[in-house]
Structure formats: C-alpha cells, structure tokens
Chain A
Amino acid sequence: MIKTWELDPGFKDEIMKEPGGEHLTSCYQCSTCTIGCPITEIVPSYNPRKIIQMSLLGMREEVLSSPDLWICLICQTCTARCPQDVGISDLLSAIRRIAEKDEEAGKLKIESSRPLFDTAFLHTVEKYGRLYDIGLAMEYYPKREGSFIAGQKAMMKDYMDFGMRMFFKGKMGPLGGHGLLKGVLPSKIKKTDVMKKIFKWAEEKEK
C-alpha cells in the first residue's frame, strides 16, 4: 500500500537534476522498455516501467533500496525502443548514482556487489590510466566477501580455471610473446597525473 505521507514529491526533481535523468517526466508508462528488456525475460519481476512510475510518485526509499536497480545491463535496448525518448538506460544510471550517494552518506545499504565492482574497476583506471584486471579482483573480492582470506578464496573459485586458460592461450603472462608479464602487471600510462585530475573533477561534479 502506498502511504501518501511517506512519499517524497521532490524525488523526481532530484533525479531530473542528474545527468541522464532529465527526461523522467516524458514517460507515459507504455511498457515498451519492459517488454523488450532481456533481464525481464530472465527475472520476470524486473520492471523498468515500474521503477519509473515509483520514481514519479516519489517512492524514494523503495526505489533506491530496490536490488533491481543493479541488474540492469546498460544494453540500451529500452532506450532505443522508447517512443518518448526517456533515455531509460541513462535514467536508471542516474538513479543508481543517487543510491550510491545515499549509501556514502550512511542513509542506505545497497543490496548488491555491483557498486563495489564498479568502484574497484575505476580505482585501477584512476591509478594506472587503464583497467588492471588483477588489481580490480584484488580489491573487489575481499570487499564483497568481507575479509581478505574469504575474498582470496572466492577469487580463486571464480578465476583459477579462467586464469590458467588465459595463461596457456598466451593472453596473459610470459607465454604471450607480447611483453613478459602483460596482463599480470598493470599497464600504466605516462600521464597518470591527468587521470588524477580527471577523477577529482568528475567527483566534484557529482556533489
């Protein structure tokens, strides 16, 4: 049941202020986004149309705490098919960023490991200028599992076979013939100082 006194009428404006969230109110609830969504095919309860309607109504807490926000593939199928140009893929991204800000402020606990993954990914880019897979995994798994040891175990379980495969196929490590330890050591760009400036600026813009 929706309790009107618990709604946040300012939520739609909050979303529309975020880059990507601008076209929220163009939605006329036709469901084209949801009918064509590949995630809805697998998880029938997943419903981007409903997330939009709840946002319009001001159901801030329900929307931001929904685990469904984090299973969007950003595949852009909804965006491409939307007759109202709502830009649903970017809109959901805007909502996810609001959820992340709320979590940072201690107002919310996100029930998904995806923000941890994204953050770990971007940390390697900030530090080296390029993605460093191993560095990403070394940050992501321990955070996800809650301890260094549990993280190493989970990483081994997921990536032991994969790592060996990449090694023997010459895609990572000395068998590659493309630099002795490529893929094993980070590929660091020269202008990492510019990366630091870029991340600092983008972070300020998010505030």
Chain B
Amino acid sequence: MSVTKLAYYPGCPSEATALDQHISTEAVFEKLGVELVEVEDWNCCGAAEAENPMLVYALNARNLAIAERASLNIMTPCSICYYNLARTAKALKEDEKLSAEIKGIDSSLEYNGTITAKHVLDVLVNDIGMDELESKIVKKLNIKVAPYYGCYIGRPRETAYDDPDDPVLMDKLIELMGGEVVPFTQMKTLCCGGPLMMTRADIAYDMARTILGTAKSAGADCVALACPLCGMMLDAKQPDIEKALGIKIEMPVVYITQLLGLALGIDASKLGLDKNAVDTKELLGKVV
C-alpha cells in the first residue's frame, strides 16, 4: 500500500449535517492504517455558492498551502470541496501570474503545486486499492445497494476520476463487500437537486424523489453515496420531501464509508449509523 498519511479536509458539513460521514471516514482510515492529519484551521471551499472563480481559487489556495507545508496530499469526503480544491490546484499550477497574485493576498496562500487533491472514494479504490481492502474485510453485507454518485465524481472532465455516464468505483466497493448492486445506471450521475434546496425546493424535491423512487423500485435496501450535500438532500431532507409531496419513501441513505466501515468490522455506533435521518436498523441486521 502506497499511501500511509494524508491531509484531511473535512469540509463544513462534517461539523453538523454530515457528522456521520465525517466519523465514518475517520474510523475507516484508522482501521486501514492510514493516518489522517486534519488541515489545521481549514476554511470553507466556497461550495457552489461562490460563483466568482477568483474567490474559489483564493479560498482553496489557503487549504492547499496548509497541506503542502506538511508535504501531504489533501483528501476530502465532499464532492464539491473536491471539485473546488482540484480545480484550484490545476489553475494555480497552470497560471503562474494568478498563483503569484493569490500569494500576494497573504503569504499563507502560497501553493507551489507539489501536492494533489483527492476525494475519499478515489483514495479508497485507486490508491489504497481493492486488494488491500479485500484483505481487511471481515464481514459480508447481504444487502442490495443503489450506488448514487451525483456530480463532480465523473464531471467535469478536468477534475473527474470516474466515468461521466456510468461511474463504477462505488459499484466495485459494494461488490467487494458482498453486496448486490441494483440496476441504477440512469440515476447514478443525475444531480440530487441540492443546490436549489433553499431557493427552489419544488424542483429540488422533484429531483430527489426521482432518485429515491428509482432506488426503491429497483429493490434497493439502501442508497450509498459519497457527498455530504447529496446526503443532506436525500437523507436529512427525506422526511421533509415525504411531507411536502404527500408520499412515503422510507429509503435508508448511507455514506459509502459507513458501509465499508461495517465490512471492516467497525461497530455501527462508531460509524454514525445512529445519525442518519432515515432509520438504518433493518439494514444493520443484514450484515453478517
């Protein structure tokens, strides 16, 4: 195994709405023997709300620079944080003038392009690797899973680390853990609606309903995902969607790190599985 230590950028949702993802990510990496060093005093990446790319570059230069000073590649569990970190790393490496200008804002923003930004899913499957993971799996997940990837994993192409139309990294992990992947291809990369949650909830709810409804008709026991904003939309808001649309969905939604944690034999309570909005108890019964 090539990777032993990484800078960990948890992102804002890790402190509240995606606490379950944060806890499970830390637990999984501890179990795998990869040390995570939290980026000291990290700041927000700007998410989708910072529409000015210059603001995104400056905000993310600081986080990249902190990790670079520790000579560690930076890893995040959030798809949008990943996109912002990765596109900033690319822009600053390619554009010396921009890089110098950003350094001019404050010396702490000096990023020299010597480290890379990675998403947790990418690190697990491609860096740690399937063989290493397989050797540490001790439990079998007798469940049917709908792998939901959302945005920024397979697109845009400059920062993508999986296929744009039919990504497979989570599918591979699920099968490795003994789970069954339900037919879900046309939903895998459809946006969850999250960015419109606060301004056009009608559209956002419609999108989330389509994804969750498809998972249900495909016979999934749960949806697995790899982004806290998708988690917010599909899990934390699921009871609100049910109420607003007058429907019942009751589809458990878990982070891929929570599932992997179970397969690695980590206790459910240490994976935050009591914190998902839609109850996961039935799911846990199928882990043997």
Q: Give A residues with C-beta under 8 Å from B.
A: 19-20, 38-39, 42-43, 70-71, 73-77, 79-81, 87, 89-90, 93, 96-97, 112-114, 117-118, 121-122, 125, 129-131, 133, 140, 158, 161-162, 165-166, 169-172, 176, 178, 182-183, 187, 189-191, 194-195, 197-199, 201-202, 205-206
Contacts and interface: CB of A to CB of B under 8 A. Distances in A.
B239 A165 contact: yes
Given A130-B44, A161-B239, A201-B54, 16 more contacts: A38-B191, A42-B207, A70-B199, A77-B191, A80-B154, A80-B157, A90-B53, A93-B51, A97-B51, A121-B49, A125-B44, A131-B12, A158-B201, A182-B15, A187-B12, A194-B109
A122 B50 CA distance: 7
B203 A42 contact: yes
B276 to A, nearest CB: 8
A183 B16 contact: yes
A82 B125 CA distance: 29
Contacts of A96: 51
Nearest to A190: B41
B200 A170 contact: no
Contact of B54 (A42, A183, A206): A206
Interface stretch (B55-63, B129-137, B140-148, B217-225): B55-63
19 contacts: A42-B203, A70-B200, A73-B191, A73-B194, A74-B151, A76-B156, A114-B199, A118-B51, A129-B41, A129-B43, A130-B12, A133-B17, A178-B19, A187-B12, A194-B62, A194-B105, A194-B109, A201-B54, A202-B55
A71 B201 CA distance: 11
A190 B108 CA distance: 13
B38 interface: no
Nearest to A183: B16
Contact of B190 (A38, A140, A170): A38
Contacts of A199: 55
A66 B268 CA distance: 49
Contacts of A77: 151, 155, 189, 191
B236 A194 contact: no
Nearest to A71: B200
Interface hub of B157, B164, B200 (most chain A Cβ within 10 A): B200
Contacts, number: 163
Given A140-B198, A169-B277, A191 B108 contact: yes
Given A77-B155, A140-B198, A172 B16 contact: yes
Closest 8 CB pairs of A and B: A183-B16, A80-B155, A75-B191, A202-B55, A131-B12, A121-B49, A129-B43, A118-B49
B30 interface: no
A32 to B, nearest CB: 13
A163 B105 CA distance: 38
Contacts of B97: none
Given A70-B199, A113-B199, A183-B16, A121 B43 contact: no
Given A42-B203, A79-B156, A205-B54, A198 B190 contact: no
A205 to B, nearest CB: 5
A171 B46 contact: no
A74 B49 CA distance: 10
Contacts of B13: 131
A171 B275 contact: yes
Contact of B152 (A76, A81, A162, A182): A76
Contacts of B58: 198, 201-202
A198 B59 contact: yes
B95 to A, nearest CB: 11
Contact of A112 (B42, B190, B199, B277): B199
A202 B62 CA distance: 14
B174 to A, nearest CB: 23
Contacts of A195: 43
Contacts of A133: 16-17
A166 B16 contact: yes
Nearest to B46: A125
Nearest to B275: A169
Nearest to B91: A19
